[in-house]
Structure 1
């Protein structure tokens, strides 16, 4: 299990190689349909291969960091009115701020890692991350609660969040936190969570996003860190590195398959 002691808290060829490690006509058809439609690839690449029979690996457990907002250390975004939402760019429950930055859609697909790789519907995923300045709402920004939200997985096990590209603060590679809960009803405090992990973002996409207005500090911070040096991702990102498509102008889409034992 990776530890986090900081104060803040691949292309078509790669996709095809990963597909070759997986079995299941259904997964293949879904991938082909997404590619043919010109949309972002479904997050099969996040499965990190698999065993014979199409099993998906369990995503590593990671620290929630010091700013989870899940009730574990005081602040609890999970009890806020309106926290179950897809667009997490603005604050809710009386706070009015909106996080600025390059548009990013995060799509996570939750699957059973115990042999079937079957989609898990009716679960809840709580997602949060820092703003483009590397600050977290409810902690560094006590008057805001943006960039936090909960979504219920659909029949395909998928949730989608509309957000902004997170900044890179000193000592960490760019990342997005998430927790998995058995249901939206149970997604009210950290005591009910099933899994905590983090999503990593490809350096190429980060460099492009950080070349835009407002991300100047991220350019410097990213130049001083690598996955090998990161205290969460240094043990590997095979199951946590998102597939990212898009552009600064059109916005980015990050997809990841999330396997849990269910």
Structure 2
């Protein structure tokens, strides 16, 4: 079953927006199915500047940070939950704990796409934004063509662009992947689930947070237009905005990544997410 964002969060963000306190940014997508979710602001900036990018969060005595919103896991989580009439579970596979998720476990064949590293830092909103070490993060997203592994072929061995890692002493994990494509109906995005430990990261019922990551529209538009493999994404992104996305339409300030180009032709993204641990 899809998990949906609480009404209270949407009302709270709406109230903040009316006071001029929210900063809205975003983008995300996929192509083989429709992950129904949205956000209400299109942007042409190249990096995220809202609290979701981590740029406004400090740690230490008296520091405050906002809890990342809950979002749907969508129809393709492969986390043991029953969605899309299937209950695939890659979380029990040997080798799923990995940093480079560009190939299926045990395969040397990497999916196509522009290289991207993404650093996710987890902090405790209940303890002055202190970093959370030893927590597990399961990350998954679509290919440059907008397809999700496992479900596209109905084969759990086809599990590229899915992986789990434990946060280090700084509360951070870094995944090596590719820039996600933009499929019809959704802004480009990544999914993630947070677990209290690697041992607990074996089934969705143990997840303590499910959310999504957004990406600056202008950056992705530039990437898509410069790389032939994202031709469908060019069209899809041009017809979408955060305002029409059914997950991000209420704001992306806590889910927006910061993205910048690398010297090797790839990109690096980062975000700080807070939970009430």
TM-score by length of 2: 0.78
Q: Which of 152, 165, 169 does residue 155 from structure 1 map onto?
A: 169
Does residue 89 of structure 2 align to residue 76 of structure 1?
yes
CA positional deviation for 1:247: 5.1
1:66 equivalent to 2:75? Answer yes
Q: Is the 8 A contact 2:138 2:165 kept in 1?
A: yes
Structure 1, unpaired ranges of 5+:
19-42
Residue pairs, 1:54-203, within 5 angstroms? 54-73=63-82, 74-93=87-106, 97-143=109-155, 144-203=158-217
Q: Shift of the alpha carbon at 1:216? A: 0.2
Q: CA deviation at 1:13?
A: 11
State the Cα distance separating 1:156 from its structure 2 match. Answer: 0.2
| Runs ≥4 residues deviating over 6 A | none
**What is the total number of aligned residue pairs between the two structures?**
232
CA contact (8 A) 1:109 1:157 kept: yes
Point out where structure 2 has 5 or more consecutive residues left out of the alignment: 8-29, 36-44
CA shift digits 1:177-233 (9 cap, x unpaired): 000000011100001000000000001111122120210000000001100110000
Is the CA contact 1:112–1:259 (under 8 Å) kept in the aligned structure 2?
A: yes
Question: Is the CA contact (8 Å cut-off) linking 1:46 and 1:240 kept in structure 2?
Answer: no
Asked if the contact 2:48–2:215 (Cα under 8 Å) also holds between the matched residues in 1, the reply is no
Of 165-174 and 53-62, more deviation after overlay is shown by: 53-62
Instruction: Normalising by structure 1, report the TM-score.
Output: 0.82
Higher RCO by CA contacts (8 Å cutoff, separation 6 or greater): 2
Once residues 47 and 203 of structure 2 are traced to their aligned partners in structure 1, the CA distance between those partners, rounded to angstroms, is: 39
The aligned residue for residue 8 of structure 1 is 34
Q: Is the 2:47–2:257 contact (alpha carbons within 8 Å) kept by the matching residues of 1?
A: no
